Amino acid sequence: MTASSTRLVRLLVLGALGTLTFLSACGSSSPTNGVASKSAVQIYSDAKSATEAASSVHISGRITSGSDKIGLNFVDSSRRSGGTISDNGTTFQIILSGHNVYLRGSKATMSKVSGSAAAGQLLGGKWLQTTTGNKDFGGLAGLFNLPKLINSIQPKGKLQKGPVSNVDDQSVVALIDSTRKGTLYVATSGRPYMIELVGGPGEPGMITFDQYGSAQPPAIPSGAVNLDQLGGSLGV
């Protein structure tokens, strides 16, 4: 792969997620779980534990980091994960199953990330298969592993507890990062899942998590082309 594809992976795994400080999730309408009465640090700890323990969750949203506009729409699952990730119009469908990574992009996307119109023509629209050891796309495994994803996102400054409010009819308590000014909303009923992240002034955007325990990952594609075997001859 060229430097452009490496940059895409770096932005998605390190830049976009690392700068946003928090993630989000949906909760239930069951009686209060008592989390709103706890300290900001304890609320975050409870939310982190609950979210990491989920068997599956749907993650979606848009992030702006500098000049990069990044879109996320995928399912993290304990058995298989995948969905769509975009960066300034470059869009990939990606599926992670064990150590195997499957990805597909349009002809325009494959031409851009490979730096080769010929590669784009040949590979565009086709499912490609590689592994988590691939230097360009293997790093995405961390994005599609929920405990690793949550562990990689930590508050950058002191946490401040905000008021209880509602997000999509879900009662939530706010946690505000004093450095980044991002706000995480945590469910105050049912399990204390992360509900919604609103980025601060420097990193505008919003990410939501929903369908906890019921989100279904995409199926493994058949007939995928082995990307690692093609790499030497196509320059990708």
CB 197 within 8 A of CB 22: yes
Band (222; pLDDT cuts 50, 70, 90):
very high
| Size (the chain), residues | 236
Query: 3: which residues sit within 8 A by CB, 6+ positions away?
Result: none
Q: Which fold has domain 3-228?
A: outer membrane lipoprotein receptor (LolB), chain A (2.50.20)
Residue 64, classed as helix, strand or coil, is strand
In this predicted structure, what is the pLDDT of residue 22?
43
CB 214 within 8 A of CB 53: no
Least reliable range by pLDDT among 68-72, 135-139, 154-158: 135-139
pLDDT tens-digit readout, 33-53: 999 999 999 999 999 999 999
Residue 225, classed as helix, strand or coil, is strand
In this predicted structure, what is the pLDDT of residue 63?
80
CA distances from 93 to 1, 106, 168 (A): 17, 10, 28
* Mean pLDDT score of the chain: 81
Rounded Cα distance, 193 and 160, in Å: 18
Average confidence (pLDDT) over 7-34: 47
Rounded Cα distance, 84 and 78, in Å: 18
Pick from 6-20, 131-145, 175-189 the range whose average pLDDT is largest: 175-189
